[in-house]
Amino acid sequence: MGFEKRIYNFSAGPSMLPLEVLKKVQDEMLNYGGSGMSVMEMSHRSKAYGGIIGDAEASLRRLMGIPDGYKVLFLQGGATLQFAMIPLNLMRGSGKADYIVTGSWAEKAAKEGKKFGDAVVVASSADKNFTYIPRLSKEDFRQDADYVHITLNNTIYGSKYPYIPDTGDVPLVCDWSSGILSEEIDVSRFGLIYAGAQKNIAPAGLTIVIIREDLIGKAPASAPTYMDYSVHAANGSMYNTPPAFTVYVAGEVFKHLLAGGGVAAQEKRNRAKAERLYSYIDGSRLYSAPVERESRSLMNVVFVTGDEALDKKFVAQAREEGLADLNGHRSIGGMRASIYNAMPDEGIDALIAFMKKFEVEAGR
Ligand SMILES: *Cc1c(COP(=O)(O)O)cnc(C)c1O
């Protein structure tokens, strides 16, 4: 099948990858860099693979400005395994952790935390169906907590923190699965940042953990070996077989971003894409976006018509026109356009054109 048959994929994840990267991976599929084999077939202990994973880490460090004193780990188990690894490794002082619940993933993280100790939900936006981000300051957190956990971009409800909470000396832990590399963040504000790769970076199978070194080495002796950050840190993410092919694709995406001007340039493109879509929604008679303006996600644009049957019709009709997976998450319905880094401007044009046509046909 040719590239001309590709459609615009608005899935929340796994999601679109840059076409240039897919083509390069295709070119290198059978014979990577003269090695005579595919990266899929390559020993992770080989010199060639050492270069791949080393370059991937170096590129990510450059892209995010990751300071010395932080380790980058390439792990498996998804963001979901981090919901458990974080409390297992970090809830080791007072045994307390504070969670802010701003959506389904944050809720799951908090629930998992409670299995390990005194995890408390200090704030939640459930009262307004997660359409806003609570404003918190230092006094709202227990100052003897081992960490505060936030979900910076809420993939399902389409919201994002418009600020980074000040937690004082308590390490801030952040699920950045659906926002990583979409906009600049100051890594030094965080104790730990984690992200599944399948939203904004690569195929599924890779979880990136960026962790301040003083938070490594606290896991109890009873911790399963794989779940101890110090094991992965001491072994350069090679304690066991890493998700080798996914790390390679991630590295190619990182290079692609660097060539395009880095995260600052990508953020500019993302803001322009999201602004166009939100301003069309805000100006239309048919559609509305439920999330409060200053907390709107740049990556996951949630909108509704207010009529469930019409929403369903929208999603089905859009699919026929090559605009895939615009349905909202199965838990909330409506529509969601996930417009990650790899969604081109033309995808936004096509979506808005379809929305206009649908609005006219709906008689609004
Ligand atoms: C997708 C997602 C998850 C779950 O990731 P898995 O890799 O499937 O475990 C967790 N948090 C956020 C914010 C997500 O978007």
Atom of ligand 1 nearest to the CA of 204: 7
For residue range 273-314, list pLDDT tens digits in order.
Answer: 999 999 999 999 999 999 999 999 999 999 999 999 999 999
Percent of the chain scoring above 70 in pLDDT? 99
Give the closest residue (by CA) to ligand 1 atom 14.
177
Residue located via tokens 């559609």: 287
Q: Which residue in the list 175, 228, 311, 325 is annotated as catalytic?
A: 175
Atom of ligand 1 nearest to the CA of 176: 13
**Strand ranges inside the chain, DSSP E:** 8-9, 70-75, 96-101, 118-124, 147-151, 153-154, 159-160, 172-175, 192-196, 207-212, 300-303, 323-324, 335-338
Tokens at 93, concatenated:
């002082």
Give the closest residue (by CA) to ligand 1 atom 1.
177
Q: Which of 177, 209, 299, 302 to mutate to test the pocket of ligand 1 (most atoms within 8 A of CB)?
A: 177
Give the CA dihedral 169, 162, 120, 209, nearest 10 degrees: -70
Atom of ligand 1 nearest to the CA of 80: 9
Give the closest residue (by CA) to ligand 1 atom 10.
79
Q: Ligand 1 centroid vs 112 CA: distance in angstroms?
A: 14
**Residue 1, pLDDT above cutoff 60:** no
**Residue 329, pLDDT above cutoff 70:** yes
The pLDDT, as a whole number, for residue 26 is 97
Give the closest residue (by CA) to ligand 1 atom 5.
79
CB under 8 Å, gap of 24 or more: what pairs does 270-276 form? 270/182, 270/183, 270/298, 270/299, 270/339, 270/341, 271/183, 271/298, 272/345, 273/298, 273/339, 273/343, 273/345, 273/348, 274/298, 274/299, 274/301, 274/339, 276/348, 276/352
For residue range 240-254, list pLDDT tens digits in order.
Answer: 999 999 999 999 999
State yes or no: is 175 an active-site residue. Answer: yes
**Residue 199, pLDDT above cutoff 50:** yes
Which residue in 356, 342, 363, 345 sits closest to 16, CA to CA? 342
Q: Which CATH superfamily is domain 261-361 in?
A: Aspartate Aminotransferase, domain 1 (3.90.1150.10)
Ligand 1, pocket residues at CB < 6 Å? 13, 78-80, 105, 151, 155, 175, 177-178, 196, 199
For 22, residues 6+ apart whose C-beta sits below 8 A from its C-beta are none
Atom of ligand 1 nearest to the CA of 196: 7
Angle at the Cα of 196 from the Cα atoms of 68 and 47, rounded to 5 degrees: 60
Give the closest residue (by CA) to ligand 1 atom 4.
79
For residue range 76-110, list pLDDT tens digits in order.
Answer: 999 999 999 999 999 999 999 999 999 999 999 99
The pLDDT, as a whole number, for residue 331 is 79
Q: Which of 15, 76, 80, 100 to mutate to test the pocket of ligand 1 (most atoms within 8 A of CB)?
A: 80
What value does the mean pLDDT of the chain take?
A: 97
**Residue 111, pLDDT above cutoff 60:** yes
* Residue 2 banded pLDDT, cuts 50, 70, 90: low
Map out the domains of the chain as residue ranges.
28-259, 261-361
**CATH number of the domain at 28-259, please?**
3.40.640.10
Under a CB-based contact definition with an 8 Å cutoff, are residues 98 and 168 in contact? no
For 248, residues 6+ apart whose C-beta sits below 8 A from its C-beta are 25, 39, 52, 56
As a whole number, mean pLDDT of residues 161-181 equals 98
**Residue 4, pLDDT above cutoff 80:** no
As a whole number, mean pLDDT of residues 7-26 equals 97
Q: Ligand 1 centroid vs 199 CA: distance in angstroms?
A: 8
Q: Which of 104, 111, 161, 178 to mutate to test the pocket of ligand 1 (most atoms within 8 A of CB)?
A: 178
Bridge partner residues of 121 (DSSP): 99
Q: Which residue in the list 71, 105, 146, 176 is annotated as catalytic?
A: 105
As a whole number, mean pLDDT of residues 335-353 equals 98
Q: Which residue in the list 71, 96, 160, 199 is annotated as catalytic?
A: 199
As a whole number, mean pLDDT of residues 251-269 equals 98
Atom of ligand 1 nearest to the CA of 81: 9
Bridge partner residues of 72 (DSSP): 210
Q: Residue 281 to residues 127, 351, 354: CA-CA distances in angstroms?
A: 24, 11, 12
Give the closest residue (by CA) to ligand 1 atom 2.
177
* Residue 330 banded pLDDT, cuts 50, 70, 90: confident
Q: Kindly report which listed range (3-17, 91-105, 132-146) carries the lowest average pLDDT score.
A: 3-17
